[in-house]
Amino acid sequence: MKIDMHSHAFAESIAERAMASLKANIPPDFHTPYDGRLPSLVRELKSHGFDHAVLCQIATKPTQFKPILDWSRAIRDGQLGEDAARMILPLPSVHPADPNLEAHVREIAREGFKGIKLHPYYQGFVLDDPVPLDLFRMARDNGLFVEIHAGFDIGFPFEDVCGPRRTMRVVESVPGLRLMISHFGGWRAWDEADKVLIGAPVDLEISMSIGWCATALLRSMLLRHPADRLYFGSDWPWSEYDKTLPFLDSLDLPADRQAALMGGNAARFLGLP
* Residue number with CB closer to Zn ion (41 or 253): 41
Which residue is nearest to Zn ion, using beta carbons?
Answer: 235
| Closest to 88 in 3D by CA, of 126, 44, 129, 122 | 44
The CA-based angle 64-36-181, given to 5 degrees, is: 65
Maximum alpha-carbon separation in the chain = 49
Q: Is 243 left (phi over 0), alpha (psi -120 to 50) or beta?
A: alpha
132 vs 26: CA distance, rounded Å: 26
* Residue number with CB closer to Zn ion (203 or 235): 235
Q: For the CB of residue 119, give the shortest distance to Zn ion in the complex, in Å.
A: 7
- How many residues bind to Zn ion according to rule CB under 5 A? 1
Q: For the CB of residue 182, give the shortest distance to Zn ion in the complex, in Å.
A: 7
Q: For Zn ion, what does the binding mask look like between residues 51 and 70, x meaning CB under 5 A? A: --------------------
Q: For the CB of residue 179, give the shortest distance to Zn ion in the complex, in Å.
A: 16
CB 93 within 8 A of CB 66: no
CB-based burial label for 249 (10 Å; 0-12, 13-18, 19+): exposed
* Residue number with CB closer to Zn ion (53 or 202): 53
CB 107 within 8 A of CB 70: no
* Residue number with CB closer to Zn ion (117 or 140): 117
The reply on whether position 4 binds Zn ion by CB under 5 A is no
Phi, psi of 167 (to 5 degrees): -60, -45
* Residue number with CB closer to Zn ion (233 or 263): 233
Q: For the CB of residue 60, give the shortest distance to Zn ion in the complex, in Å.
A: 13
* Residue number with CB closer to Zn ion (128 or 235): 235
| Closest to 114 in 3D by CA, of 137, 91, 87, 85 | 91
Q: For the CB of residue 24, give the shortest distance to Zn ion in the complex, in Å.
A: 17
Q: For Zn ion, what does the binding mask look like between residues 81 and 100, x meaning CB under 5 A? A: --------------------
Ranges within 231-270 binding Zn ion (CB under 5 A): 235
161 vs 180: CA distance, rounded Å: 17
Ranges within 199-238 binding Zn ion (CB under 5 A): 235
* Residue number with CB closer to Zn ion (98 or 235): 235
Q: For the CB of residue 159, give the shortest distance to Zn ion in the complex, in Å.
A: 19
Q: Note the helical H segments in the chain.
A: 12-24, 38-47, 65-76, 82-87, 101-110, 120-123, 130-141, 164-173, 190-196, 215-224, 241-250, 255-259, 265-270
Q: For the CB of residue 135, give the shortest distance to Zn ion in the complex, in Å.
A: 19
84 vs 261: CA distance, rounded Å: 23
Which residues are near Zn ion by CB under 5 A? 235
